[in-house]
């Protein structure tokens, strides 16, 4: 590796070798890398590695840019070749699924029957996610409120409270999600308080955070108005208070997203949804 391509000391090379799309591998690697905020990975991603020629490219890069090697390869020859190369050259290497598969094998007994990209088969779960995504897009930002009873989750919140990105994330998990903007003195859709099947959740954030996001958005649109109530802190605080009062009145749970990532917000909603479904099942039994 030449000095011109050598990474700075706060960087390292991370090689991800997969015989499928690499989504599982990337997710695991990034989750682990995120634990080390002071050093960043330079990712080298090799999806659909199913022949020795394709593996040659990955090994060549690993040789030029040594670092950590993670892989998900089901073909024994490819797997053993990559592992042997790394071990012979003192390069850290790990099959990210192997420990999990061994645990399953110890519990279930018998040998697994590996399938390349098996987790991405077009099964019922896949089509459930597609259906949820279509529903969520159709019911974004207060659209088609007459069909809310078919939702799994209905999100409420003022402008810039992360309703749409949270909805899309939930939809990708197969959860049909509608979201409705809240504006003081503007009535919510009729029948919202009568919904039985969906979980209704309010999203709020600190006034400072909302103002910051709104200001950045307006600046990006070249439409910022210094005294516009849209970015006035007191006005925004009243919008948030209105949201909270509405949710308290109807006994809807509220999640403060100020310091939460979209993933953390979605995880909290999924937990609430599971409890909501248990209650509905108890009532129906």
**Residues 242 and 264 occupy one common structural domain:** yes
Residue 271 lies in a domain: yes
**Residues 28 and 110 occupy one common structural domain:** yes
Q: How confident is the model at residue 76 (pLDDT cuts 50, 70, 90)?
A: very high
**Residues 138 and 160 occupy one common structural domain:** yes
- 159 annotated as a binding-site residue: yes
Using the predicted structure, report yes or no on whether residue 258 has a pLDDT greater than 50.
Answer: yes
Q: Using CA atoms, how far apart are residues 279 and 45, in angstroms rounded to an integer? A: 44
Q: What is the pTM (predicted TM-score) of this model?
A: 0.69
- 174 annotated as a binding-site residue: no
The residue among 102 and 149 whose pLDDT is bigger is 149
Residue 2 lies in a domain: no
Residue 214 lies in a domain: yes
DSSP for residue 6: P
- 42 annotated as a binding-site residue: no
pLDDT score at 146: 92
**Residues 54 and 161 occupy one common structural domain:** no
Supply the range of the domain harboring residue 59: 11-119
Show which of 119, 145, 178 is a domain's final residue: 119
**Residues 16 and 62 occupy one common structural domain:** yes
One DSSP character per residue, 59-96 reads HHHHHHS--EEEEE--SHHHHHHHHHHHHHTT--EEES
**Residues 149 and 190 occupy one common structural domain:** yes
**Residues 280 and 141 occupy one common structural domain:** yes
Show which of 119, 138, 168 is a domain's final residue: 119
**Residues 89 and 133 occupy one common structural domain:** no
CB 139 within 8 A of CB 184: no
- 162 annotated as a binding-site residue: yes
- 158 annotated as a binding-site residue: yes
**Residues 56 and 76 occupy one common structural domain:** yes
Q: How confident is the model at residue 23 (pLDDT cuts 50, 70, 90)?
A: confident
CB 78 within 8 A of CB 19: yes
High-pLDDT (> 70) share of the chain, %: 90
**Residues 97 and 206 occupy one common structural domain:** no
- 258 annotated as a binding-site residue: no
Tokens of 188: 């919510």
**Residues 217 and 241 occupy one common structural domain:** yes
Which domain CATH number covers 280? 3.40.50
Q: Whole-number mean pLDDT of the chain?
A: 90
pLDDT in tens, 87-125: 999 999 999 989 988 898 889 987 776 665 555 555 677
Report which secondary-structure segment, H or E, holds 56.
Answer: helix 52-64
Residue 153 lies in a domain: yes
**Residues 184 and 99 occupy one common structural domain:** no
High-pLDDT (> 90) share of the chain, %: 73
Show which of 119, 144, 174 is a domain's final residue: 119
- 72 annotated as a binding-site residue: no
pLDDT in tens, 161-197: 999 999 999 999 999 999 999 998 899 998 999 999 9
Domain count, the chain: 2
């Amino acid at each position: 590796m030449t000095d011109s391509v050598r990474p700075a000391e706060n960087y390292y090379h991370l090689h991800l070798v997969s015989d499928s799309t690499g989504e599982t591998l990337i997710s695991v690697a990034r989750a682990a890398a995120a634990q080390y905020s002071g050093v960043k990975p330079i990712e080298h991603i090799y999806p659909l590695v199913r022949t020795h020629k394709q593996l040659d490219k990955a090994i060549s890069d690993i040789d030029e840019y040594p670092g950590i090697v993670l892989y998900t390869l089901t073909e024994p020859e490819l797997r053993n070749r990559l592992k042997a190369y790394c071990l012979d050259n003192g390069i850290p290497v790990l099959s990210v699924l192997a420990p999990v598969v061994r645990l399953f094998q110890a519990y279930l007994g018998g040998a697994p029957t590996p399938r390349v990209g098996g987790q991405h088969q077009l099964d019922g779960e896949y089509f459930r996610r597609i259906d949820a995504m279509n529903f969520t897009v159709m019911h974004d930002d207060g659209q088609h409120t007459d069909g809310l009873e078919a939702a799994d989750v209905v999100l409420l919140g003022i402008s810039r409270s992360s309703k749409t990105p949270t909805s899309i994330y939930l939809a990708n998990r197969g959860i049909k999600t509608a979201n409705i903007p809240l504006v003081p003195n503007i009535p919510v859709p009729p029948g919202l308080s009568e919904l039985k099947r969906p979980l209704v959740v309010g999203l709020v954030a600190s006034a400072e955070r909302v103002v910051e996001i709104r200001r950045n958005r307006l600046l990006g649109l070249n439409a910022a108005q210094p005294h516009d109530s849209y970015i006035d802190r007191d006005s925004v605080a009243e919008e948030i208070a209105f949201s909270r009062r509405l949710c308290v009145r109807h006994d809807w749970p509220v999640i403060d997203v100020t310091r939460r990532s979209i993933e953390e917000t979605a995880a909290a909603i999924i937990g609430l949804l599971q409890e909501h479904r248990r209650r509905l099942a108890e009532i129906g039994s």
